[in-house]
Structure 1
């Protein structure tokens, strides 16, 4: 029997509706509750101790949660194996889709920045920083030995941490030698120094606008604070690191041999 177009449409909707219902029924109730609230299930996978891992996404942000073997309880948070391994991180690296920051990187190359390090660099890092950020300062200290052997760091200023962040950033960018002004800020970091009162957004509207644009770009990379480090690996893939990196990560990030760092202030980052 040949069905009319209308009958075919009704049949399709019934089949599709049944399939969708069946798919939804595959989710444990605790996961379905999240789905009903607008969360999307990207993937599920077998996890440790008989649990099931779930990669969830909402508005481009991913997270991993777990359900117990009886599917009645949802567990969110850090999962540590008996050997001490961070299983949550391992699962995230394996199952969470890696974002493509190619378009953002092109924008980053044209951003307002302060260049420090090698003039003919063997490798380049970009780093979003706030003049009052202590972890940016630690990152600066850790990268100095790498700058000595061919690294160039392109520091991208933002201003949000403290009331003095904006005038400090404006003072650097308004300087005849921004790199020297940046280095002076780092060399005297922690010592109270308020920039002259003249360095305000109203006095330097173009620079203030550039700083706002840098902050928007920082958010596009998914950074929720500083430092935010961006670089390309040997294959040309854009990679990001949110926060102060461990010293052991620096050779991989810079593509340069490991450098001796004996600054006692950096010992906790080994």
Structure 2
């Protein structure tokens, strides 16, 4: 991920910055900093990190920089250089992945959920979300993967290849443990690639278990919820609970 006008070729980074890069950080861009410091925005293990090169170019400070009032001078450049572009890129990649819609297409809030057909917590979240989905407030987009059991990928393939995938997923989740979903005996190559791409995307987003829920907060920053959320967290993800008629 690059930002025009803010990044340089890696070999031009000063040596202290190259040393941080060698430890696995990805340098995204530069920003102004006070007192002769030069700021660098980096991405490390999925998190934005600020680097401050000293005026002599020989040392680098890593972390947040506070002013005399205790205000954090780091978050604004990290938000602009790292989190906003990263959120847009990952959101776009999820939009282009292979998913099953659950809810109205014109719902004002979209959530992407990495789901495994054998995941009981995916079923739990599906049930938790019903008031918002049925009220037309939220659309869940289930990015199907197969990681829990040997037949998980084959069951995901069966759902994706169903005549009506949304209806098939709804029937499967509504039945819970009583589901009669049969795994596809053999997954076609094209569908196998889609499932592999979904799994790779899940890894790129730093998720390792299902359900992995992704949504945009009020600042359009990508947020993640791992596992079925607690009841007191639901509204922060889904919005205010719909009033039952």
Unaligned runs of 5+ in 1: 1-19, 21-34, 41-57, 63-93, 262-270
Match of 1:133 among 103, 108, 119: 119
Q: 1-side partners of 2:93 and 2:198: how far apart?
A: 10
TM-fit CA distance, 1:118: 2.2
Q: Please, what TM-score do these two structures have when normalized by structure 2?
A: 0.63
Post-superposition Cα deviations, 1:116-171, rounded to whole Å, max 9, x if no partner, equal: 11242021111110000111110000000111222111111001110121111111
| Counterpart selection for 2:103 from 103, 117, 122 | 117
Count of matched residue positions in the alignment of Structure 1 and Structure 2: 175
Superposition RMSD in Å: 3.0
Alpha carbons of structure 1 residues 226 and 260: separation in structure 2 relative to 1, 3 Å: farther
Instruction: Pick from 45, 57, 62 the counterpart of residue 60 of structure 1.
Output: 45
SS of alignment partner, residue 185 of structure 2: coil
Is residue 188 from structure 1 mapped to residue 187 from structure 2 by the alignment? no
Q: Is the 8 A contact 2:212 2:225 kept in 1?
A: yes
Change in CA separation of 1:230 and 1:39 when aligned onto 2, cut-off 3 Å: closer
Q: How far apart are the structure 1 equivalents of 2:44 and 2:194?
A: 27
Alignment of 1:1-270 (within 5 A): 60=45, 100-149=86-135, 150-191=137-178, 193=180, 195=182, 198-201=184-187, 204-255=188-239, 257-259=240-242
After TM superposition, the score normalised by the length of structure 1 is 0.57
- Which one has a bigger Cα radius of gyration? 1
Which deviations, in whole Å up to 9, do the C-alpha atoms of 1:186-242 show, x marking residues without a partner?
12221364615x5322xx111111011000001111001111111112332221112
Unpaired stretches in structure 2, ≥5 consecutive residues: 1-15, 26-42, 48-74
**d(CA) in 2 for partners of 1:60 and 1:159?**
24
User: What's 1:85 paired with?
Assistant: none
